[in-house]
Chains A and B, each alone.
Chain A
Amino acid sequence: MSDDKWSDQSEGKELGSLAQSARRTSLKQARTILIVVGVLTALMNVFMFVNAEAEVRKAFEDEKRKLGPGMVFDEAEIKKTSESALQVTRLIYGGTVFLGVLFVCLGLAVYRAPVVCTVTGLVLYLAANAIFAALDPLNLVRGIIVRVIIIVAMVKAVQAALAYEREAKAEREARLGETNDPVAL
Chain B
Amino acid sequence: MDRPDDDARLTPLPEGDTPRASPDGDALDPPAEQPIDVPEPAVACWRCDRVGPPVAGWCRWCRARLTENPAAREPTLSRPSPPLGTVLVVYALMLGTSIVWAWMLLAGGARMAEDDVILGTAVLEVVDTVLVAVALGLIGRRACAADPPAGRPLFAWVIAGPVLFVLVCLGVLYTAGLREVARPGGEPGWPTGLTAGAVLLICVQPAVVEELFFRYAAFGILARTTTAHAAVGVTAVMFAMAHIYNPLGLPYLFLCGVVFGYARVYGGLALPIVLHFLHNLAVVAIEGS
Contact = CB atoms under 8 A, between A and B. Distances in A.
Interface of A: 19, 22-23, 26, 80-81, 84, 87-88, 91-92, 95, 113, 115-116, 119-120, 122-124, 126-128, 130-131, 133-135, 137, 140, 155, 158-160, 162-163, 165-166, 169-170, 179, 181-185
Contact of B234 (A119, A130, A166): A119
A185 B92 CA distance: 30
A22 B92 CA distance: 27
B244 A155 contact: no
B241 A123 contact: yes
A185 B226 CA distance: 11
Nearest to B94: A130
Interface of B: 44, 49, 51, 75, 77-81, 84, 88, 91-92, 95-96, 98-99, 102-103, 106, 145-149, 181-183, 185, 222-230, 233-234, 237-238, 241-242, 244-245, 247-248, 250, 265
Most chain A CB within a 10 A radius of its CB, from B51, B242, B247 = B247
A133 B234 contact: no
A130 B182 contact: no
The binding surface of chain B is classed by DSSP as: helix
Given A87-B181, A91-B182, A115-B226, A131 B75 contact: no
Given A84-B183, A179-B51, A185-B228, A126 B95 contact: yes
Given A81-B185, A91-B248, A124-B237, A183 B225 contact: no
B88 A182 contact: no
B223 to A, nearest CB: 5
A157 B98 CA distance: 26
B234 A116 contact: yes
Contacts of A169: 49, 225
Given A116-B230, A119-B234, A134 B81 contact: no
23 contacts: A23-B77, A84-B181, A84-B183, A88-B181, A95-B247, A120-B237, A123-B237, A126-B92, A126-B95, A126-B241, A127-B241, A134-B103, A155-B80, A155-B88, A159-B81, A160-B77, A162-B84, A166-B49, A179-B51, A182-B49, A183-B145, A183-B223, A185-B149
Nearest to A170: B44
A116 B224 CA distance: 12
B123 to A, nearest CB: 17
Contacts of A170: 44
Contact of B84 (A113, A119, A131, A133): A119
Nearest to A129: B95
A131 B81 CA distance: 27
B250 A95 contact: yes
A95 to B, nearest CB: 7
Nearest to A134: B102
Contact of A134 (B75, B80, B99, B238): B99
A160 B84 CA distance: 13
A113 B226 contact: yes
A184 B106 CA distance: 45
Nearest to A26: B77
Given A119-B234, A123-B241, 12 more contacts: A26-B77, A91-B181, A91-B248, A92-B247, A123-B91, A130-B95, A134-B99, A162-B84, A165-B226, A166-B49, A170-B44, A182-B224
